[in-house]
Chains A and B, each alone.
Chain A
Amino acid sequence: MLIKDVMHSPVLTVDVGVTLEAAYHIMLQRNIRHIPVTQEGRLVGMITDRDIRLATSPFAVGGAKPTDTPVGQVMAQPVITGDPLDPVEEAARVMRQRKIGALPILEGEALVGIVTGIDLLDALLRLTGVEKPSGRLEVCLDDRPGELARLSGELAQQHINIHSLLTYPCGEGTVTTVVRVGTLDTRRIARELRQKGFVVQWPPEIPSKRL
């Protein structure tokens, strides 16, 4: 999944000369928290609702700025940006490391989109596959080539569609694999996987269950 698949486009921007009050009203009306700031069409900064509230607050260092101050005086710069062809995890990493809530996306000099934390949460939901009716299997695999193929081959043989598959390291030399599968009968699948030697963490085996 790439940034271009999750970003918002076109992007709402304000000019450096727009007042803090006007920018804040735009945020309230559109229910957004971040606006890229442009000068003669080029991206020069970012302004957030928090920047505005801090700048106009009596707590502001050096005193509250008047509400008709141009955003150019308050905006953050230089701007951290992303590329439409970056993977979403790259955007997540930059936003996490720099503690920022939105990333304007540039193609060359042109501002083509914006990605926010909310967009990344949507991306996470899509990656986990929960948007389709499905059951969830958790299988612990050895961290070596061919293990995933063995698992997916087994599911394919049983004509089970995989809606999504995530893996993450879970210990010395093993990975936990979370598979969302298009079946109601995950217990039967788990039983057959166990018979083939897989370590299935969920659903668990229960001795009292019988047909």
Chain B
Amino acid sequence: MSVPVIYSPQYQLYNFGPQHPFSPLRLEMLLDLLEHLGHPLQFVEPAQATREEVRSVHLESFVRRVEAAGRGEYSPDFDHYGLGTADTPIFPGMDEAARWLVGGTLTAARMVSSGAAREVLQLGGGLHHAQKDLASGFCVYNDLSVAIRHLTEQGLRVAYIDIDVHHGDGVQWIHYDEPHVLTFSIHESGRYLYPGTGHTHEIGKALGTGRKLNIPLEPFTEDDSYLEVLQMGLEPALHWFRPDVLVVQCGADAHFQDPLAEILLTTQAYAKIFPLLRQYAAAFAGGRAVYTLGGGYSLDATSRIWALLYLTLQGLPLPDHLPEPWLRRWGTQLGHFLTHTLFDPEGAYPEIPRKAEIERRNRQVTERMLESVRPYWS
């Protein structure tokens, strides 16, 4: 049985302008690639999230500012709400555009909570930096948290898994004291990278203590080490937490080509990560999972990784070479050659001299994280 896909052409409205890395081109390239691979997208159109649904996690004062900004009004306190910054510039209709993405993730969550589907792929969203009163890091509204809030209101225990290269800070802080939400983020260390959080000592507070997990990775971490600590940290947590559903943010920016970060995953790693997460959904959450997109700023790598996600979820075979017409069309448009194969060629980046030390440190940090949360797992 195929996995339902949520998508709306309205997602393309979430657009910060041609120079901005969070580009709707990523979706356009992905859809075009799937079509060229002989799998034209069959999708379910979501309902746009209402104001009230957005308000389930965001403050009234913040929503008002977003609405006003989207109408072209000006307020001197926009900066204070993270609006009109270099990362989250104001654009006309930003409230409506963001509500389409929230609506998509919420529709996916509703399909799972109602039993209409077990797994759903939302081809958009993943805006994990948005906080209850702050737009941040390209994210206006937090679609993930709105969906998680819906699921917990249905009495479900939610494990949120975030593989974006940046820490999933918005989701973590919004649910920081909630006992029925486990958040797990594996990301490049915040020592240097945005947003600067996601340390092992951030373990939740009050009833949520021990249920917020972070694995901050060393810059220049490669496939093997990533997969090792992902399993080492996530498996015991899911085993203990027994979620009813997984919400997975599938950011594609941990790839070595990504211009915004320093983790060095290849598409070969993603071809292992996605089936692994699916396996975890089956083993620990009755197979129920919502997958969303997220960050990913190399157009080349991102379209291949999300195609991989799509093909994996649909149980379709993975091609070796990518279709010539697609490569030609987008290579010409972007002005540079694209990788010709779904999988990255061997030796695509220089050897990392600190490899052994990086692996050791990642292992150690994961052990430290587990040590600090385990006392609360009783």
Contacts and interface: CB of A to CB of B under 8 A. Distances in A.
A161 interface: yes
Interface in A153-198: 158-161, 180, 182-188
Contacts of B138: 184
A203 B194 contact: no
Given A159-B86, A187-B259, A209-B259, A135 B193 contact: yes
A202 B196 contact: no
A132 B261 CA distance: 19
A136 B191 contact: yes
A18 to B, nearest CB: 35
B297 A211 contact: yes
Contact of A210 (B136, B197, B257): B257
A182 B259 contact: no
Main SS class of interface, A: loop
Contact of A135 (B131, B196, B298, B334): B196
B95 interface: no
Contacts, number: 89
A210 B336 contact: yes
A108 interface: no
Contacts of B137: 133, 184
Interface residues of B, number: 36
Main SS class of interface, B: loop
A85 to B, nearest CB: 29
A183 B196 contact: no
A2 B274 CA distance: 51
Contacts of A132: 196
A184 B87 contact: yes
Contacts of A134: 194-196
Nearest to B134: A133
Interface in B62-91: 79, 85-87
Contacts of A112: none
A102 to B, nearest CB: 24
B350 A208 contact: yes
A206 B336 CA distance: 18
B21 interface: yes
B218 interface: no
Nearest to B136: A133
B291 interface: no
Nearest to B349: A208
Contacts of B350: 207-208
B194 A133 contact: yes
Given A161-B79, A185-B21, A133 B197 contact: yes
B256 interface: yes
A130 interface: yes
Nearest to B261: A187
B309 to A, nearest CB: 21
Contacts of A161: 79, 85-86
Given A159-B86, A185-B87, A210 B298 contact: yes
Given A183-B87, A206-B262, A208-B348, A133 B256 contact: no
A185 B86 CA distance: 9
Contacts of A211: 259, 297-299, 334, 336
A121 to B, nearest CB: 13
10 contacts: A133-B137, A133-B196, A136-B193, A136-B196, A183-B85, A183-B86, A184-B129, A202-B192, A208-B350, A211-B336
Interface of A: 130, 132-136, 138, 158-161, 180, 182-188, 202-204, 206-211
Listed from nearest, the 5 A-B pairs whose CB atoms lie closest are: A133-B195, A208-B349, A135-B194, A184-B194, A184-B137
Given A183-B87, A184-B260, A203-B262, 7 more contacts: A133-B129, A136-B193, A138-B192, A183-B86, A187-B261, A209-B259, A211-B336
